[in-house]
């Protein structure tokens, strides 16, 4: 079996230790690849390569149009291999193929979007108090950027980081999750083909500690961009204090999906399910708390339970599959542990709640689509991000109560409201403390619009123009149109 390698300074290299790890398919826990398992020395090599590319190589001096051309070439290559990428992510992450197909298409769009931005006007000019002064700003790359990503969208998270990072002219070092490196390796084959110079983009495979932690702590790294859990986010922020590198964090959520009685019933029902069961609930913006107006609960909940029991759970490669396995045995155990704790703390199961072990599914990490009702407000399942197919339902009677419950969380990533009353929808969204919100829909995400969270869901924004700005420094330039002495010092 071929071993997946690091890509450092334009070359495929194995970890210095020679260690490797098995990469599994979560649908059956079979080994699908071996990946080189890097250590701190490999991360240091990647930093050296990126430093060289940025400080001395052609990449550090590249122009926007040059970068746009390469990113467009890369977008075209990814598009050509889109089916392959989708299959890789389904086999490595578990998500149904139809979802992985969307991810591949989004990845192409993201490269194209940032290719477009790379050559567009940036910076501003200012009218200042001195008429002889031209004051303006330009945006410049930050330098060497470490980019650490999770396992839930292996290709798309890599692209959300690399596309703006490279478009802005930084030298990037990507560290994928140690569980899902396969599509990142494929992406780097195409980065090489697209003609990026050595060291502009580097790939290091291996565990969070020491690979990610070395990147986050290094004084030679100028920025760390991280997507993952809050515990790791805090470690990264702490590690980054040494040289006060720039930090952006995209973290978790416990996002509310508010359904009013006047909502389109069938649509609200489907989006309540889609919000939580898309991506097996392993989605940072998942609608994991359903806030339901009490007067429709009697009609809504039995329909929800019935529809959830009919969700086709299976291998993501099977055409009929609507929900795949969880990414790993350990993560499945964690999710089942949350379900157990919900029952212990007095919540009532509306449906699901068990691991699925029927036939071939016994080999994989499958959990039933699960819905809890009558959840005590302080229960762990109400407060913590489960990151699996587990929905908690809360009932409310008034608009004020819905808003208060929606905001009763340390997170603030996403949220939605379903109602046919336009003014009510706007009133509620205005009061939601969350970075990404939807009215009468759940989950649509656009490369053109900013992504990120309030409160403990993160720092900064990705995507859109905000995503590019997060990879730039702003330089103020003042030009004196009347050069000459100012006579501050008389005895000159
Ligand atoms: P994680 O925090 O365990 O790991 C994320 C990445 O960090 C991995 O590459 C891991 O190897 C690395 N890492 C681990 N320890 C590290 C350390 N000490 N220093 C540096 N890097 C380290 O998260 P996960 O389990 O892979 O992903 C799940 C989490 O990601 C969830 O909380 C989810 O909400 C969040 N997430 C957020 C978004 C978003 O856009 N806000 C998107 C996807 C996932």
Does residue 321 have its Cβ closer than 6 Å to ligand 1?
no
Look up 308 and say whether it is catalytic: no
Cα-only R_g, the chain: 24
pLDDT at 404: 98
How do residues 393-450 score in pLDDT, each as one tens digit? 999 999 999 999 999 999 999 999 999 999 999 999 999 999 999 999 999 999 999 9
Cα-to-centroid distance, 289 and ligand 1 (Å): 21
Does residue 208 have its Cβ closer than 6 Å to ligand 1?
yes
pLDDT at 103: 98
Instruction: Classify 311 as helix, strand or coil.
Output: coil
Q: How far apart are CA 326 and CA 306, in angstroms?
A: 22
Looking at the CA of residue 457, tell me the nearest atom of ligand 1.
41
Residue with CA closest to ligand 1 atom 43: 284
Which of 40, 181, 229, 235, when mutated, tests ligand 1's pocket best, judged by the most ligand atoms within 8 Å of its CB? 229
Q: How far apart are CA 352 and CA 247, in angstroms?
A: 39
* CB atoms closer than 10 angstroms to residue 407: 17
Q: How far apart are CA 147 and CA 396, in angstroms?
A: 41
Tell me which of 110, 284, 308, 351 is the catalytic residue: 284
Look at residues 149, 216, 192, 154 and name the one whose alpha carbon lies nearest to residue 7.
192
Q: How far apart are CA 207 and CA 241, in angstroms?
A: 21
Instruction: Classify 273 as helix, strand or coil.
Output: helix
For 164-208, the DSSP string reads HHHHTT-EEEEE--TT--HHHHHHHHHHHHHTPPTTSEEE--S-I
Which of 146, 150, 156, 178, when mutated, tests ligand 1's pocket best, judged by the most ligand atoms within 8 Å of its CB? 150
Contacts of residue 146, defined as CB under 8 A and 6 or more positions apart, other chains included, come to 173, 175, 212, 215, 216, 218, 221, 223, 224, 225
Cα-to-centroid distance, 211 and ligand 1 (Å): 13
Is there a contact between 381 and 341 (Cβ–Cβ < 8 Å)?
A: yes
pLDDT at 276: 98
**Rounded-to-5 percentages of helix, strand, coil across the chain:** 40, 20, 35
Looking at the CA of residue 239, tell me the nearest atom of ligand 1.
19
* CB atoms closer than 10 angstroms to residue 242: 12
pLDDT at 273: 98
Q: Which helix (H) or strand (E) holds 295?
A: none
Cα-to-centroid distance, 216 and ligand 1 (Å): 13
Q: End-to-end alpha-carbon separation of the chain, Å?
A: 76
Cα-to-centroid distance, 327 and ligand 1 (Å): 13
Cα-to-centroid distance, 368 and ligand 1 (Å): 24
Looking at the CA of residue 331, tell me the nearest atom of ligand 1.
25
Is there a contact between 150 and 228 (Cβ–Cβ < 8 Å)?
A: yes
Look at residues 252, 228, 225 and name the one whose alpha carbon lies nearest to residue 435.
252
For 393-425, the DSSP string reads EEEESSHHHHHHHHT-SSEESEEEEE-S-HHHH
Does residue 103 have its Cβ closer than 6 Å to ligand 1?
no
Does residue 150 have its Cβ closer than 6 Å to ligand 1?
yes
Q: Which helix (H) or strand (E) holds 492?
A: none
Q: How far apart are CA 145 and CA 4, in angstroms?
A: 23
Does residue 213 have its Cβ closer than 6 Å to ligand 1?
yes
Tell me which of 99, 250, 293, 385 is the catalytic residue: 250
Is there a contact between 332 and 367 (Cβ–Cβ < 8 Å)?
A: yes
pLDDT at 24: 98
- Taking the whole predicted model, whether its pTM rises above 0.95 is answered as yes
pLDDT at 370: 98
Q: How far apart are CA 262 and CA 264, in angstroms?
A: 7
Look up 250 and say whether it is catalytic: yes
Does residue 249 have its Cβ closer than 6 Å to ligand 1?
no
pLDDT at 2: 85
Q: How far apart are CA 1 and CA 336, in angstroms?
A: 33
How do residues 358-390 score in pLDDT, each as one tens digit? 999 999 999 999 999 999 999 999 999 999 999
Contacts of residue 33, defined as CB under 8 A and 6 or more positions apart, other chains included, come to 1, 2, 3, 4, 22, 23, 92, 182
Is there a contact between 398 and 424 (Cβ–Cβ < 8 Å)?
A: no
How do residues 441-460 score in pLDDT, each as one tens digit? 999 999 999 999 999 999 99
pLDDT at 1: 86
How, if at all, do strands 348-351 and 171-175 pair? unpaired
Q: How far apart are CA 64 and CA 51, in angstroms?
A: 19
Does residue 250 have its Cβ closer than 6 Å to ligand 1?
yes
Does residue 229 have its Cβ closer than 6 Å to ligand 1?
yes
Does residue 385 have its Cβ closer than 6 Å to ligand 1?
yes
Q: What is the pLDDT along the chain (492 residues), one digit of tens a residue?
A: 889 999 999 999 999 999 999 999 999 999 999 999 999 999 999 999 999 999 999 999 999 999 999 999 999 999 999 999 999 999 999 999 999 999 999 999 999 999 999 999 999 999 999 999 999 999 999 999 999 999 999 999 999 999 999 999 999 999 999 999 999 999 999 999 999 999 999 999 999 999 999 999 999 999 999 999 999 999 999 999 999 999 999 999 999 999 999 999 999 999 999 999 999 999 999 999 999 999 999 999 999 999 999 999 999 999 999 999 999 999 999 999 999 999 999 999 999 999 999 999 999 999 999 999 999 999 999 999 999 999 999 999 999 999 999 999 999 999 999 999 999 999 999 999 999 999 999 999 999 999 999 999 999 999 999 999 999 999 999 999 999 999 999 998
Q: How far apart are CA 152 and CA 279, in angstroms?
A: 8
Does residue 284 have its Cβ closer than 6 Å to ligand 1?
yes
């Amino acid at each position: 079996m071929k071993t997946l390698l690091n890509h450092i300074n334009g070359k495929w290299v194995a970890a210095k230790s020679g260690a490797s790890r098995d990469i599994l398919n979560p649908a059956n826990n079979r080994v699908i690849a071996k990946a080189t398992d890097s250590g701190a020395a490999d991360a240091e090599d990647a930093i050296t390569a990126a430093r060289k590319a940025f400080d001395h190589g052609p990449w550090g001096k590249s122009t926007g149009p040059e970068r746009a051309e390469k990113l467009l070439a890369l977008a075209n290559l990814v598009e050509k291999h889109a089916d392959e990428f989708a299959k890789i992510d389904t086999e490595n992450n578990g998500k149904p193929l139809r979802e992985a197909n969307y991810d591949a298409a989004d990845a192409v769009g993201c490269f194209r979007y940032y290719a477009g931005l790379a050559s567009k006007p940036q910076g501003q000019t200012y009218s200042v108090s001195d008429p002889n002064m031209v004051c303006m700003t330009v945006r410049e790359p930050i330098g060497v950027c470490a980019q650490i990503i999770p396992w839930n969208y292996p290709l798309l998270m890599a692209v959300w980081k690399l596309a703006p990072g490279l478009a802005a002219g930084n030298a990037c070092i990507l560290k994928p999750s140690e569980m899902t490196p396969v599509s990142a390796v494929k992406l780097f084959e195409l980065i090489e083909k697209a003609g990026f110079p050595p060291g502009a983009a580097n790939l290091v495979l291996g565990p969070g500690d020491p690979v990610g932690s070395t990147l986050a702590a290094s004084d030679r790294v100028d920025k760390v961009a991280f997507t993952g859990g809050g515990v790791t986010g805090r470690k990264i922020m702490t590690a980054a204090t040494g040289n006060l590198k720039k930090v952006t964090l995209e973290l978790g959520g416990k996002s509310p999906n508010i359904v009013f009685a006047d909502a389109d019933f069938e649509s609200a029902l489907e989006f309540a399910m889609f919000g939580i069961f898309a991506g097996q609930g392993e989605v940072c913006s998942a609608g994991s708390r359903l806030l339901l107006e009490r007067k429709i609960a009697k009609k809504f909940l039995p329909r929800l339970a019935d529809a959830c029991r009919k969700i086709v759970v299976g291998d993501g490669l099977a055409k009929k599959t609507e929900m795949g396995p969880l990414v790993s045995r350990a993560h499945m155990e964690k999710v089942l542990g949350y379900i157990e704790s919900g029952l212990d703390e007095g919540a009532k199961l509306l449906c699901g709640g068990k691991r699925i072990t029927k036939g071939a599914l016994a080999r994989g990490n499958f959990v039933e689509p699960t819905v809890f009702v009558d959840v005590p407000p302080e229960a762990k399942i109400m407060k913590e991000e489960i990151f699996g197919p587990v929905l908690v339902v809360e009932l409310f009677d008034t608009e004020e109560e819905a808003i208060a419950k929606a905001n009763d969380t340390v997170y603030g990533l996403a949220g939605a409201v379903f109602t046919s009353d336009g003014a009510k929808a706007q009133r509620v969204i205005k009061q939601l403390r969350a970075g990404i919100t939807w009215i009468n829909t759940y989950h649509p995400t656009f490369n053109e619009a900013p992504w990120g969270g309030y409160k403990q869901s993160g720092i900064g924004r990705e995507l859109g123009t905000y995503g590019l700005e997060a990879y730039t420094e702003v330089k103020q330039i003042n030009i004196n149109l009347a050069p000459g002495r100012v006579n501050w010092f008389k005895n000159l």
